[in-house]
Each structure stands twice: as structure tokens, then as C-alpha cells.
Structure 1
Amino acid sequence: MRIEVDGRPPTADDLQTVLPAYGHFTAMQVRSGRTRGLALHLARLDAATRELFGDGLDGDLVRTRIRHALKDGPADASVRVHVYWPDGSDAATLLVTVRPPAPPAHGPQSLMSVSHLRPGAHIKHLGGFGQTYYGRLARREGFDDALLTGPGGVVTEGGITNIGFFDGTSVIWPDAPHLAGITMQLLEPRLPDIGIASRHAPVHLKDVAGYAAVLVTNSHGVARVGRIDDIVLPTGDDVVAAVRELYESVPWDAI
């Protein structure tokens, strides 16, 4: 793994800045210096920086920092951009990590429902103890990840994914506190191109068996959900395959 802080190897002072873990980030898959949904990543970083720190973040600076971290490295990588704002500073600090590329999403996934709502769910913020705790717990119980739910069994999102429920005509994204993932944002306006509507509505655990297909999305791609708790779900292979193909047709943007 390669780590840079403001374009250089981190110093001890830099580590003091990032240790409090108050900040936000975005995660992307990079292939040959390109990523999908670059404008959405930059908009996410700018909006969260304004909300958390009261000022915006220059997208060109972000791109410069990513390109520098990728320089002389592998053409394909998993990249994260973390944003901090040290007390007394007049500018944000950017930490960029470069890791080996993530494998494509695969399925079917199994999810264990847990009662947990992320604070500030619309922000991809740091310090996600709850997600990590419940994700590890789910894996110990034989599941792939956790499914976060709120009062009354309302479904919100996966531990590190968005989740969509296909009712035969539409993909329904839970209308509950969640992070609008980049993959979900790329799919929503494109789903009608393959004859599938997209909408947001409440989804409850007690109803999940009634959907024709369930899928999860994140930067790794699109995967089918085969089981939630002890409920075995319909395969919906054709629908999930069509959505996956649609996502894979999204063009890559030069960083």
C-alpha cells in the first residue's frame, strides 16, 4: 500500500492530524488512470468538506493528488481520498491511499440484518465503528456482510453497500437514511435505458421475500443477494446480470 499526505510521504506531524479520525473520504477503483463517476466523487468530497469544515474542496487539487500517488505505481488500483481539516489550518489536508485493485463483485451475497443507523448517514465519514463491528459479527455468523436497519425493521443500506429491491418493474432503493453511493448514482438515471424504473420507497425486513430480486452495489460493482437472515431470496439472475452489464457499460473518466 502507498500513502501520501498532501502529495508526500506522511510525517509524524501528519499522523497526528489524521489520528482523530474526524473527516470523510471517497473510494474508487482506478484502471489505467481512469475511474467511473469522477465528477460524482469530486462533488461528494466538496459537499462533505463544506458540511464538516465550512469550506469547499478544489476538484483539480484532488485529481492532482491522486495522479501523484499513482505515479510510478501499478496502472490498476483501489484508491481512497481522505479529507481532514486540522485546527488552525486554512486548508484541508488530503491523505491518498493506493492499494491493489479490488476483485469484481460476485454473488450471491448473504446479509445479516442488524439494528444500526449510521450517524450522518449521507456522509461517507471516517470512524465507522458500527459498520466494522457489525460487518465482522456478520462474517463470524457465516454471512458476507451486515444489513443495516432502523426502527420497525426499515431497511437502510448494507454495511458497505447500497441495496436495491426489484419488484418486477422497478429497482426500489430504501427511502431511509443512507449514503448515496457512486455506483447507485451512476445506475439510477441509466436503468430506464434497459426498461427498469428506479425509485425510492420504504422497504421493511418483513417484506423482502416478496421481491423478484435483490442486489447490492458499491465500487466493486453489482452483486445479487441470495439470503437475508434465514430468508432465501429469488435468484433474479437475469435482472441482476442486466444491471451489472449496464454498470460495466458506464465510461471511465480520466483522472
Structure 2
Amino acid sequence: MTTGPNVYIEIDGRPATELDPELIPVLQSGYGHFTAMQVRDGRARGLALHLERLDASTREMFDAPLDGDHVRALVRRALGMAGRRDASVRIAVYWVPEAAEPTQVVTVREPQTMPEQPRSLMSVPFQRPLAHLKHAGGIGQPYYGRAAVRAGFDDALLTGPNGVISEGSITNVAFWDGTSVVWPDAPALCGITMALLEPLLSSVRREVTLADLGSYAAAFLTNSQGFAPVHRIDSTVFAVDEKLMRRVREAYATVPWDAI
């Protein structure tokens, strides 16, 4: 089913036009989880991590495993039906009461890459509930993301009590102290790009607060679309460290693309 320009959706391997009416309230409930990946030539970076995320979240939310080989088959089918080898793919998992297995929704869109121009972030007093899950529900992220854009920023930076920094609204954030890449030690989703980059860079995890920002030389964001430098958080301005960004770019380039 094409639901908009260049968007194709399948539910359990069938076009969304064949949607079972029993699924409508389940999909509308927002009680589900998902992963998002960029596919190039039928391959994705960190595929095993995506499948592990889906399985772990399904076990936690629905007390059942998720077959990774079946997920891959569904994605291959949707890519084929959409006529795409390069795409943005989202796999969402829901559960119909009394069903024998989870419902999987695969959405295929045009491929995307995060623009590498420096980003600005507005801190907001919000942390995602159950932050370790990439869950489908919640109004906080889009609400604060839109508020940040209205205020002249590119996106929101989520923070907790005492200004503890967690993550961006749809990104992970990292800071450079001149020696190490610092990933905030706070409730946040461990994004796949973050998980791939962390062991390849000189990384540490520790608490980072808004009050600490002036002690860092640079910052950058990561998500499924890639990475980009940060040039401002609230009134704190960061220089774009080209050497650091080159290291990030080179490290990311070594990550293999896994066949779906």
C-alpha cells in the first residue's frame, strides 16, 4: 500500500490495504515498539543489533520472542514490493489480544541521510518514559521538538532533574572533552549508530549536565540517518571540531553493511 509520496506499508507480509479490522485499535493504541534503519543495496548497518532490539523489546513488552529470520524475510518482501534496494525502513511490532504471534508493520520510504550541517538544540525538561525502549507511544518528543523549532532551534535536547542531559528528541548526543567522546550516563535509548560508534571511538560514559556544557570542546548527534555536529545548545556555542568529525566519519565508514 502506498500511503503517501513514495511510502509503502505491509502488515505481516500483506499490503496495508488488506488490514484486518481487529488491528485498527491495536495500531491506534500506540502500545508497540520499533526500529528504524537505512538500507542501501539491500543491506543495513548493525542489522544484528536491530534484530536484537526487536526481540528484546518484544520479550519485555509482550512476553514472547521475535524471530529475526522472519523479520528479515518481511523486510525483503516489502523492499521488493516497493521496488527499492535503497530505502528508509521501519519495523514496528504490536500485539493483538489472544494472537499467536506479534504483528509486524514494515514501512518503506525513500532513503535519508542526516544533513551534516551543524545543529542547534534547545534543552527541555523532559525524559522519555521507559527510555531504553524505542516505543511507539508518547507525545513528549514531538511536542518539545516542535517547540524547539518554533523557538528557532533545530531540535530539542531532553533533560532530567538538575539539568542532567539524556538524549535528543530522536537522536543520541555525545560530547568531546579533548580526550574522549562522552556519552551521557542518563536514561536514554542506546541508538544503533551510537552502539556501533561507541567502541570505535575513545568513548566513556558519565553524567553530563547543562551546567557542564562550557567544559566541552565539541558535541555531535547520531541516529539511524547518520551523524552531525552540534554548534549550539541554548546559549552555549560549540566550535565544529573538523578533526573529531573526520574521526567519526572514518569510524562509521568501517562498519560493514549486512545483507537483509
Same fold (TM over 0.5): yes
Aligned to 2:167: 157
One-letter code of the match for 1:101? P
- Is the CA contact (8 Å cut-off) linking 1:26 and 1:81 kept in structure 2? yes
- Is the CA contact (8 Å cut-off) linking 2:182 and 2:206 kept in structure 1? yes
- Is the CA contact (8 Å cut-off) linking 1:214 and 1:226 kept in structure 2? yes
TM-score (norm 2): 0.94
One-letter code of the match for 1:250? V
Structure 1, unpaired ranges of 5+: 192-196
Quote how far apart the aligned CAs of 1:80 are: 0.1
- Say which of 227, 231, 237 aligns to 1:232: 237
Aligned to 1:28: 37
Number of corresponding residues: 250
Return the alpha-carbon distance in structure 1 between the equivalents of residues 40 and 126 of structure 2: 34
1:55-204 mapped onto 2 (5 Å cutoff) = 55-72=64-81, 73-191=83-201, 197-204=202-209
1:106 alignment partner, SS class: coil
Return the alpha-carbon distance in structure 2 between the equivalents of residues 248 and 146 of structure 1: 27
One-letter code of the match for 2:105? L
- Is the CA contact (8 Å cut-off) linking 2:59 and 2:65 kept in structure 1? yes
One-letter code of the match for 2:133? I
Aligned to 2:13: 7
- Say which of 246, 251, 254 aligns to 1:246: 251
Report the RMSD for the aligned CA atoms in angstroms.
Answer: 1.1
Quote how far apart the aligned CAs of 1:42 are: 0.2
Return the alpha-carbon distance in structure 1 between the equivalents of residues 210 and 184 of structure 2: 11
- Is the CA contact (8 Å cut-off) linking 2:218 and 2:240 kept in structure 1? yes
Q: 1:220 to 1:92 in 2, by over 3 A?
A: same
Return the alpha-carbon distance in structure 2 between the equivalents of residues 171 and 104 of structure 1: 20
Structure 2, unpaired ranges of 5+: 1-6
Quote how far apart the aligned CAs of 1:240 are: 1.6
- Is the CA contact (8 Å cut-off) linking 1:224 and 1:237 kept in structure 2? no
Identical positions, percent: 58
Quote how far apart the aligned CAs of 1:12 are: 4.7
Superposed CA deviations along residues 82-107 of structure 1, whole A, max 9, x for unmatched, are: 00011111200000000111133312
Aligned to 1:194: none
Return the alpha-carbon distance in structure 2 between the equivalents of residues 163 and 98 of structure 1: 26
One-letter code of the match for 1:26? T
Say yes or no: does 1:221 pair with 2:231: no
- Is the CA contact (8 Å cut-off) linking 1:107 and 1:226 kept in structure 2? no
Return the alpha-carbon distance in structure 2 between the equivalents of residues 53 and 33 of structure 1: 29
One-letter code of the match for 1:96? V
Aligned to 1:48: 57
Return the alpha-carbon distance in structure 2 between the equivalents of residues 12 and 56 of structure 1: 23
- Is the CA contact (8 Å cut-off) linking 1:34 and 1:252 kept in structure 2? yes
2:106 alignment partner, SS class: strand
Superposed CA deviations along residues 97-129 of structure 1, whole A, max 9, x for unmatched, are: 001111333120000000001000000000231
2:52 alignment partner, SS class: helix
One-letter code of the match for 1:234? A
